[in-house]
Structure 1
């Protein structure tokens, strides 16, 4: 009996007891859990998902062709036949908004993707190698940031010519310094970590260190900034379209729709109201989702 008591393991209090096999939770799963708890972030994700589905299934959802004109139906008020009314050429506004979601999301995501690729590459090189390389790249960023973003975009499109593709290029260019400086500051802190020093000590190539160690540890701020930048890019694309420097007629781009309808804001306010609401809701969705990602991925925001 004494021997059995001696071999019996001690009983720990409930607060100190731990399961025998405790599964480790990855940082991304933990971030997703935190993101799901943020109700506003879920609202933003729902709005963005809604417009993405509109863009994907526009051909199936839209009741009419986006360029189908009928002057007899000019500036009709919203009705059962035309839920959002018609514009000055008799085109169905709902249809054009549905197809416009495809264009706005395409411009926003592609321009931000280009900015991330170019800006991240320059920022990583500047932060990792330093010295004159850092000085040259940083001065390029300073020059681009010296101009107001919309004026720089107008200048780029004016040189390249007004078109949706050139508007995309202009928006990508003006956002390069944002991601470049973000990655540069991140690299300056990460490259001083012990595992980077160890990687250099064993003779690991710089390219491998950058791609396999520094870049993966810099993804969180890129994801957050990229999500917020899509919202800004959509506004900038709409502004260029409003000025006639972006999408050209009859392309159903929301900013172009606002520009074409501004003369009818009193007689047919629905021609301006619904494209403006589409822009506002899309930008709101990306901003709410970006704020939620920031709270989920930034350790300083966690309790």
Structure 2
């Protein structure tokens, strides 16, 4: 009998498909499975879209005053009511999202850039470089963050720009120490030693091998830091050290309305809810990113 050829023989089988995926794709898949994190992402996207299209979404100008409409309760004409100057609160909250997110993103971006440079230098070179940079971080961390921000704004002068600078400065040690600790771990890996052995320059090693392995914790901490920056911006605005009237900044709106909390509670309620939801969204998303990108959080 003729020998029957098995078409499924290993000799005739097609090569197995490469199922390996990058850590970033794997992290995204893990993130999508976390429903709470996805809810946080949707909240963040909602406020970002609201900030981007504020000119189209706001029913009124955020600075248009009409004293005859002072402290109108929420209605079909003014969904969130009006404030003590007759300004539409919904319009001011929509435009306030643009300012709060602007401060949050750019203050954290500044903190990440400065903290990244200092953390890389301290962790990679060590010795006296590490000692000097670490002592600077310790000095900044010795002060309560909000008090240090108040002191910086008091020196520079109250304005939204100076509030952004102050928030960026107080967050530098957090990112610097995070990156430094990560670099101390990464630089002991064998591939770093191999790169040094073949004569690769320090700059190339740092940017091609060390930095890419530090991105995951930076992304997670950056997301959480945006939430903190929004709260700090609102706190400075509440104290009169951030955005100045008639700028529609949420903290400053709360400060203007605190005297009318019993007479017109909606003037305090809606800006407070906007701050709460934005911070909640970034915190939920940050927790989800941490669970997805941190190998220690996986089974």
What's the offset of the Cα at 1:203? 1.1
Find the counterpart in structure 1 of residue 284 from structure 2.
288
What's the offset of the Cα at 1:2? 8.5
Matched, 1:259 2:255: yes
User: 2-side partners of 1:33 and 1:111: how far apart?
Assistant: 29
TM-score computed with the length of structure 1 as normaliser:
0.95
Residues 6, 76 of structure 1: alpha-carbon distance in 2 compared, 3 angstrom cutoff: closer
Residues 89, 7 of structure 1: alpha-carbon distance in 2 compared, 3 angstrom cutoff: closer
Where structure 1 has 5 or more consecutive residues not aligned to the other structure, the ranges are 12-16
Residues 104, 7 of structure 1: alpha-carbon distance in 2 compared, 3 angstrom cutoff: closer
Cα deviation, 1:115-156, whole Å, max 9, x if unaligned, reads 000011101100000000000000000000000000000000
- Aligned to 2:110, what secondary structure does the other structure show? helix
Matched, 1:77 2:73: yes
What's the offset of the Cα at 1:174? 0.2
Find the counterpart in structure 1 of residue 99 from structure 2.
103
- Aligned to 2:20, what secondary structure does the other structure show? coil
User: 2-side partners of 1:72 and 1:8: how far apart?
Assistant: 85
2:205 to 197, 206, 209: 209
What's the offset of the Cα at 1:22? 2.2
Find the counterpart in structure 1 of residue 240 from structure 2.
244
Where structure 2 has 5 or more consecutive residues not aligned to the other structure, the ranges are none
Find the counterpart in structure 1 of residue 146 from structure 2.
150
Find the counterpart in structure 2 of residue 121 from structure 1.
117
Task: Describe how 1:1-303 pairs up with structure 2 within 5 A.
Answer: 9=9, 20-303=16-299
CA RMSD of aligned residues (A): 1.8
What's the offset of the Cα at 1:9? 3.5
What's the offset of the Cα at 1:201? 1.0
- Aligned to 2:150, what secondary structure does the other structure show? helix
Aligned residues between the structures: 298
TM-score computed with the length of structure 2 as normaliser:
0.96
